[in-house]
């Protein structure tokens, strides 16, 4: 059998894309036994699905490219789409400003299960390679699957334990695409000797304002036994390349420092308003929420089709578009999945 459309990836972008295609000859392949594995665990199982404060300044990537899709399907459109399909996220800006969370991430998965009931799923099926003759031959660990049009929605390298893989980049490279440098992002930092005192504060969370390159990030920083994490650090990791950034441990007029913190730093010479640090590295792809970098967006047209290979499309995180912590990455995945068909 030859499918009209094959989608690699039953994640956020692939499911949104499939929900918009009325064609019944569509096959979705995923190595996970169930759809939407990342949606399921995201936002503490409540899926931080988008953000009220939407703008290209929240993303890394080509701003004109990103802007054109956010204009076509923005956070309001996503919320309306969800409401129409019985999912009602609520504003919950406690940790990051403007964030919308669902009552349960299962609501989103159940919604997509209904909206993709016309599709054929090949789950627990890992894509190994792709060949192109007259059609696309998708080579999997369960045999070949053939289709006329291929949509790659396979995400990035993060969380290999739930399906993260390099297959999207491999396919892109095979057809001549440029892969912009990949790095783990939205991830905690490991520290150098000067910051070993962080480890003594493991479990403690404080408000901070971080300056990293030309960005200012505010929010909570969490000390961990390996270094530091928490929302402000995760967003900092998106912008940090190498070298220093500075932390203001007294970001607000009413900021106070916990007793444990004061005790720990009493013998250290620390500038609390401008503490300079250079991370040793980060916790890597096993802990990173996203992969920064990806397939160059210069090489896809305004419908996500490859400019180098006909009937080949890329959507979602596999492209060189990465958002801050706070629902921006799902917004991108859903915007791209929606816009490819609308
Ligand atoms: C722990 C965690 C929490 C997160 N929380 C949030 C959040 O609350 N809000 C937010 O905006 N973003 C969050 N993110 C980021 C967000 O999940 C991703 O950016 C988004 O899911 C990307 O969508 P995608 O469709 O491009 O890829 P994915 O959703 O990753 O889907 C890709 C799919 O392709 C499949 N696949 C990959 N390789 C193969 C292969 N070789 N063969 C077959 N199938 C394959 C994978 O199994 C996967 O199901 C979180 C990420 C993680 C890891």
**Domain-by-domain residue ranges, the chain?**
2-183+286-339, 188-282
Pocket of ligand 1 contains residue 188 by CB under 6 Å: no
Tokens of 251: 């970001």
Pocket of ligand 1 contains residue 335 by CB under 6 Å: no
Predicted confidence at residue 120, as pLDDT, reads 98
- Rounded to a whole number, what is the largest CA-CA distance in the chain? 72
Predicted confidence at residue 187, as pLDDT, reads 98
User: What is the CA(152)–ligand 1 centre distance, in A?
Assistant: 13
Helical (H) or strand (E) element with 101: strand 99-101
Pocket of ligand 1 contains residue 291 by CB under 6 Å: no
Q: Please tell me the total number of residues recorded for the chain in this structure.
A: 342
Pocket of ligand 1 contains residue 28 by CB under 6 Å: no
Predicted confidence at residue 222, as pLDDT, reads 97
Residue 43 phi/psi, 5° resolution?
A: 50, 40
Strand, coil or helix: what is 40? helix
Is CATH 2.40.30.10 correct for 188-282? yes
Pocket of ligand 1 contains residue 219 by CB under 6 Å: no
Predicted confidence at residue 256, as pLDDT, reads 87
Ligand 1 mutation pick, 6, 9, 304, max ligand atoms within 8 A of CB: 9
Which residues of the chain are under the pLDDT cut of 70?
none
CATH number for the region 2-183+286-339 comes to: 3.50.50.60
Pocket of ligand 1 contains residue 299 by CB under 6 Å: no
Pocket of ligand 1 contains residue 48 by CB under 6 Å: yes
Predicted confidence at residue 93, as pLDDT, reads 83
Residue 326 phi/psi, 5° resolution?
A: 125, 25
User: What is the CA(11)–ligand 1 centre distance, in A?
Assistant: 6
Ligand 1 mutation pick, 163, 169, 326, max ligand atoms within 8 A of CB: 163
Predicted confidence at residue 78, as pLDDT, reads 98
């Amino acid at each position: 059998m030859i499918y009209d459309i094959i989608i690699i990836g039953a994640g956020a972008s692939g499911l949104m894309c499939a929900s918009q295609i009325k064609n019944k000859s569509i096959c979705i392949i995923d190595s996970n036994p169930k759809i939407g594995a990342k949606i399921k665990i995201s936002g503490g199982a409540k899926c931080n699905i988008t953000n009220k404060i939407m703008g290209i300044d929240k993303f890394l990537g080509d701003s004109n490219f990103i802007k054109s899709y956010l204009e076509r399907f923005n956070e309001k459109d996503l919320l309306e789409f969800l409401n129409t399909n019985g999912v009602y996220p609520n504003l919950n800006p406690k940790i990051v400003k403007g964030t919308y969370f669902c009552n349960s991430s299962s609501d989103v998965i159940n919604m997509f299960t209904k909206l993709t009931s016309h599709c054929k799923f090949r789950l627990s099926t890992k894509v190994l390679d792709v060949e192109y003759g007259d059609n696309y031959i998708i080579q999997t660990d369960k045999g070949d699957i053939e289709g006329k049009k291929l949509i790659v929605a396979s995400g990035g390298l993060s969380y290999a334990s739930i399906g993260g893989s390099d297959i999207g980049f491999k396919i892109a490279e095979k057809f001549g695409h440029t892969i912009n440098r990949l790095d783990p992002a939205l991830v905690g930092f490991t520290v150098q000797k000067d910051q070993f005192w962080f480890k003594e504060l493991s479990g403690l969370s404080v408000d901070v304002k971080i300056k990293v390159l030309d960005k200012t990030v505010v929010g909570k920083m969490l000390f961990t036994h390996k270094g530091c994490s928490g929302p402000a650090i995760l967003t900092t990791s998106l912008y940090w390349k190498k070298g220093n950034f500075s932390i203001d441990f007294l970001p607000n007029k009413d900021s106070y420092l916990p007793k444990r913190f004061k005790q720990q730093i009493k013998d250290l010479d620390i500038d609390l308003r401008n503490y300079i640090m250079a991370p040793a590295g980060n916790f890597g792809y096993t802990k990173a929420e996203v992969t920064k970098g990806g397939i160059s967006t210069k090489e896809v047209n305004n419908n996500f089709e490859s400019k180098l290979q006909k009937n080949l499309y890329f959507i979602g995180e596999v492209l060189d578009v990465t958002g801050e912590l706070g629902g921006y990455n799902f917004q991108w995945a859903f915007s791209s999945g929606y816009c490819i068909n609308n």
